[in-house]
Amino acid sequence: MRLLVYSLDNLLRKIEGVFTFQDDPRCLFRLQVSKAPHPMRFPSLEVAAGETVLVLHLWNEHVPAMPVAGPDLAWAARVWRLLVGSLEDLAYHIQGDTRLRQIPVLYGVTILPSPGEDSAGARLLRQLGFVVCPHCHPWGRFGVFWENLYTWGLMWTFNPASLHSRRFNSLRRYEIWMPTRDFIARYTLKQAEQHSNVGDRMKA
C-alpha cells in the first residue's frame, strides 16, 4: 500500500511539474511554477489571481521521522535547522536563477500541527517571514475530502508517527505567502550574517 501511495505521489509530481532545485538530503522543499489561486496584497506588492507564483512543496522523504512517542525538543530543533537551512539555500538559488527571480511571490499550502491562525504553527511560519491565511479549496468540501485522503496517505507512508495526534476530519490547510524580493533579502542576509559570525569566531 505504501508503494502505491509513493507511486501516486511521484506521478502527480510529474503531471504538476514539481521539480527539485538541489540534490541534498537535508533539503525540505521542491518547487513548482504555477498560478495564484486568488488576489493577494502585501505592503510592497499586489498579486492578481492567475499571476505566476513559485510554489513550495514539502519534500516528504527528507522530513525527519517523528519519534513514536511524539515530537520532542531534539526532533523539533532538527526540523527547524533543516527548515531554515533549506530556505536559505532556496533564496540563493532564486537569486542566481533569472527565471525564478522574476516570479513575484512564493506561495504554499500546508497543514499546521494545530489548526488556527494564532496557533503555534502559524506563529512559527510568521516568524519565518510568511503571511499565513486559511486555504479554501475551489471544489469545496468534496475537494477537501480528497485532498485530506491524499495527505493522510502521504503522512502514513512517509512519517506515520505524525498521525498519532491527528484526526482525519481535523486536517485544515493554510496558505503561506512571501514576496520574492523580501524572501531573498531575508534569507541571503541571514546566511551572510552567519558566515560573518563564523569568520569572526575563527579570527578570535
Mean pLDDT of 182-190: 90
**Tally of structural domains, the chain:** 1
Q: What angle do CA 116, 61, 155 make, to 5 degrees?
A: 45
Look at residue 113 in the predicted model and tell me its pLDDT: 66
Give the model's confidence band at 201: pLDDT under 50 very low, under 70 low, under 90 confident, else very high.
very low
Distance CA 81, CA 55 (A): 21
Residue 174 domain flag? yes
Q: Three-state DSSP class for 56?
A: strand
Mean pLDDT of the chain: 87
Distance CA 118, CA 172 (A): 13
Q: Are 84 and 26 in contact (CB under 8 A)?
A: no
Distances in whole angstroms, Cα of residue 104 to Cα of each of 20, 29, 52, 92, 151: 19, 19, 7, 16, 28
Look at residue 202 in the predicted model and tell me its pLDDT: 38
Residue 202 domain flag? no
Distance CA 67, CA 73 (A): 11
Look at residue 69 in the predicted model and tell me its pLDDT: 81
Look at residue 175 in the predicted model and tell me its pLDDT: 96
Mean pLDDT of 100-109: 98
pLDDT digits (tens, 9 = 90+) for 25-51: 999 999 999 999 999 999 989 999 999
Residue 201 domain flag? no
Please say if the pLDDT value at position 72 is more than 50: yes
Look at residue 133 in the predicted model and tell me its pLDDT: 93
Please say if the pLDDT value at position 141 is more than 60: yes
Distances in whole angstroms, Cα of residue 149 to Cα of each of 59, 132, 180: 18, 23, 31
Please say if the pLDDT value at position 192 is more than 70: no
Q: Three-state DSSP class for 66?
A: coil
Residue 186 domain flag? yes
Residue 204 domain flag? no
Residue 32 domain flag? yes
Phi-psi region of 144 (alpha: psi -120 to 50; beta: other; left: phi over 0): alpha
Domain that residue 34 falls in: 2-196
Q: Are strands 173-179 and 131-134 parallel, antiparallel or unpaired?
A: antiparallel
Q: Are 184 and 95 in contact (CB under 8 A)?
A: yes
Burial, 172: exposed, middle or buried (Cβ in 10 Å; 0-12, 13-18, 19+)? Answer: middle
Look at residue 195 in the predicted model and tell me its pLDDT: 53
Q: Are 91 and 186 in contact (CB under 8 A)?
A: yes
